[in-house]
Chain A
Amino acid sequence: MRRNRYSIFSLARNAVSYHQDWSEAWRSPDPAASYDVIVAGGGGHGLATAYYLAAEHDVGRIAVLEKGWIGGGNTGRNTTIVRSNYLWDEAAHLYEKSLQLWEGLSQELNFNVMFSQRGVMNLGHTLQDMRDIYRRSNANRLNGIDSEILTPAEIKAKVPAMNVSSEARYPVLGASFQPRGGVARHDAVAWGFARAADARGVDIIQNCEVTGIRRENGAVCGVETTRGLIGARKVAVVVAGHASVLADMAELRFPVESHPLQALVSEPLKPVLDTVIMSNAVHGYVSQSDKGELVIGAGIDAYTGYGQRGSFSIIEGNVAAIVELFPVFSRVRMLRQWGGIVDVCPDACPIISKTPVKGLYFNCGWGTGGFKATPGSGWVFAHTVAQDEPHALNAAFDLERFTTGALIDEHGAAGVAH
């Protein structure tokens, strides 16, 4: 079932036939009557879960069911910032595991996910911002995570286009900088995991919405879908913004709320910004894609929403802040703007957990910042599903923490939303 490997030789061979003979990257099979594990949700996290289940565990037949097309949710809508500079140990270890997987991902998947470690800079605009930055940066170093503190002069040297003058509306007092952070190509992450999972026998079934979760004697036994009933010994739900909708199908109540989160990109420009700039205080995030577009992320709307669009006022405030920081961007034209549905937990940390229903697992609550976690999330979730026990890295991220009170308060602690 191994697909043709991508290499310089396959590229040359296919050039001779004018690139007409590339084989499909993954199959589109009809659903079987039943599987050992069904992964509901074909975003990056679901596909990564299926890949690591197939590559590192022995669980039998696996399918990914996606209601639309793979990567069409938040995976294909995010601003692709990857970093691991979280404050609390539990979060830092989980995101750092993910960052380490990113570092070898293109090789592992034989697919170029264009992971670019151009560094991530988190700006501080107030004294309190700077205190938080020092605290987080020190915590990161204690956890072996790379982190530097930059002065305004050092920031200016790295990012000449930024206005760091003391007259600026949002004076820049300093920043933390994680050199190993960066960006990746979001679609390629979905496609790379899909192709590698398919090569290991995973059935990827698109246009197949899960509409019900079948249970028998307190254990899961299958899912109802728009393509019929499919049996399953285990069901792993990874549907991001729709987590509550699927929890509802199993009569579970979750501490998750879904919000619109927006982003926008500009027309392509010549290279002007070779790192990632984040500012929580003014709520702007900007990097430049390899195509030259400025990729700008905004904040969430306070209200809940499943509409994959947010309020215009959010974009307005976001762009105003970016233009204050980068006056040279003021006449850049924006090309596209869109929204996703992010699933937010009260402590801004994910739930990667067993549930009261045997054989039913949930991975959700990544909120505004789960893209960076894609490989790590899939890796620990695959372990959780295969072993019916969490891995040490995700044990603290269970549903139980909302009852015991052992929350992992990364809201604001990480200083940044993405």
Chain B
Amino acid sequence: MLQIECPWCGARDQQEFQYGGEAHIVRPESPDTLTDEQWADYLFNRANSKGVHAEQWCHTAGCRRWFNVLRDTVSYAVLAVYRPGERPSGSVE
């Protein structure tokens, strides 16, 4: 990984960024209608994929904006970066 490409600032040292966990987890619209199992799944369960993982990063020591990254969790190679609301070009989800 060493460097991550911020969609606004370009490639920067990994240390400028902060990890923000799995991407695309949507907070349920009306939690009070969920079962305990569904709420627990939203709160705690994670894909923890071995291989391609969609995740959030924040450029904390730069522009301080959030964005999404597709990363290989075995090689740690960054496969794609994309802004919130966008989809990675031609891949998953």
Say yes or no: A303-B55 contact (C-beta < 8 A), given A242-B50, A245-B50, A311-B14: yes
**In the assembled complex, which residues on chain B have CB atoms less than 8 Å from the CB atom of A403?**
36-37, 40
Question: Is A258 close to B, CB under 8 A?
Answer: yes
Question: By the criterion CB–CB under 8 Å, are B48 and A254 in contact?
Answer: yes
B41 CB-CB contact with A under 8 Å: yes
From A244, A255, A306, A404, contact of B74 by CB (8 A): A306
Q: Residues of A contacting B55 with CB < 8 Å? A: 303-304
Is B8 an interface position by the 8 A CB rule? no
Scoring B1, B18, B73 by chain A CB atoms within 10 A of each residue's CB, the highest score goes to B73
Give bound CA distance, A303 to B48, whole Å. Answer: 10
A299 and B44 CA atoms in complex are apart in Å by: 22
- A402 vs B38: C-alpha distance in the bound complex, in angstroms? 11
Q: Chain A residues near B48: list those with CB within 8 A.
A: 244, 254, 256-258, 304
Residue among A254, A302, A305 with max Cβ neighbours from chain B (10 Å): A305
Residues of A close to B41: CB separation below 8 A: 253
Give the secondary structure class of A's interface: loop
User: Is A302 touching B15 in the complex (CB atoms < 8 A)?
Assistant: no
**B46 contacts chain A at the CB level, 8 A cutoff:** yes
Interface string of A92-121 (1 = CB under 8 A from B): 000000000000000000000000000000
Q: Say yes or no: is B45 at the interface (Cβ < 8 Å to chain A).
A: yes
In the complex, whether A346 has a CB less than 8 A from a CB of chain B is yes
CB-based contact A304/B73 at 8 Å: yes
Cross-chain contact of B44 among A305, A313, A402 (Cβ < 8 A): A402
Which among B15, B36, B40, B76 is the interface contact of A305 at CB below 8 angstroms? B76
- Shortest C-beta distance, A186 to chain B (Å), equals 24
Bound-state Cα–Cα, A313 to B18, Å: 13
Whether A255 contacts B44 in the complex (CB less than 8 A), given A304-B53, A307-B75, A403-B36, comes out as yes
**B53 contacts A313, C-beta separation under 8 Å:** no
Question: A306 contacts which chain B residues (CB < 8 A)?
Answer: 50, 73-74
Task: Evaluate contact between B46 and A256: CB separation under 8 angstroms.
Answer: yes
- List, in ascending order, chain A residues with CB within 8 A of B19's CB: 301-303
Q: A301-323, CB under 8 A of B: which get 1 and which 0?
A: 11111110001010000000000
> Please, which residues of chain B bring their CB within 8 A of the CB of A256?
46, 48
Query: Chain A residues with Cβ under 8 A from B73's Cβ?
Result: 258, 304-307
Closest to B46 in A: A257
A331 to B15, CA, bound (A): 26
Closest residue to A310 on the B side, CB-wise? B76
Q: Can you list, as one digit per residue, whether each of B22-48 has a CB less than 8 Å from chain A (1) or not (0)?
A: 000000000000001100110111111
Measured CB to CB, the nearest residue on chain B to A344 is B48
CB-based contact B15/A313 at 8 Å: yes
Q: How far is the CA of A362 from the CA of B40 in the complex (A)?
A: 18
- Cα distance A304–B23 when bound, in Å? 12
List residues of chain A with CB within 8 A of the CB of B14.
Answer: 311, 313
Residue of B nearest to A317 (CB): B15
Known A-B contacts: A244-B46, A306-B73. Give 8 more (CB < 8 A). A244-B49, A253-B41, A256-B48, A257-B48, A303-B55, A304-B53, A306-B74, A307-B76
Query: Can you report 19 A-B residue pairs in the complex whose CB atoms are below 8 A from each other?
Result: A242-B50, A244-B46, A244-B47, A244-B48, A244-B49, A253-B41, A254-B46, A255-B44, A303-B19, A304-B48, A304-B53, A304-B73, A305-B73, A306-B73, A306-B74, A311-B15, A313-B15, A403-B36, A403-B37
A residues contacting B by CB (< 8 A) are 242, 244-245, 253-258, 301-307, 311, 313, 346, 402-404
